[in-house]
Amino acid sequence: MKAKKPLVEVAVETEEGRVPLGIMNAKQALSLPDDLDVKVSHPDHEPGRTDKFIPKDELQRHLDRS
């Protein structure tokens, strides 16, 4: 059986606060351009319902350990 791809919420921080861009799988989030300064929800938490956000590089390290 294939391992389930973790889903994450992708958001940007603005002066008014965090603005959600959408929910995608971790591979899609990691493929976003580096010049787009995004944060992603921690893959161990439910996307769209958590306030635990991490930078893309931390997401990559988390997936490498899994």
48/2: higher pLDDT: 48
**Per-residue three-class SS string for the chain:** CCCCCCEEEEEEEECCEEEEEEEEEHHHHHCCCCCCCCEEECCCCCCCCCCCEEEHHHHHHHHHHC
Residue-wise pLDDT for 12-59, tens only, equals: 999 999 999 999 999 999 999 999 889 999 999 999 999 999 999 999
pTM value?
0.85
Residue 22: beta bridge partners?
10
**DSSP at 2:** P
And the tokens for 65?
Answer: 């350990």
Predicted local distance difference test score (pLDDT) of residue 5: 79
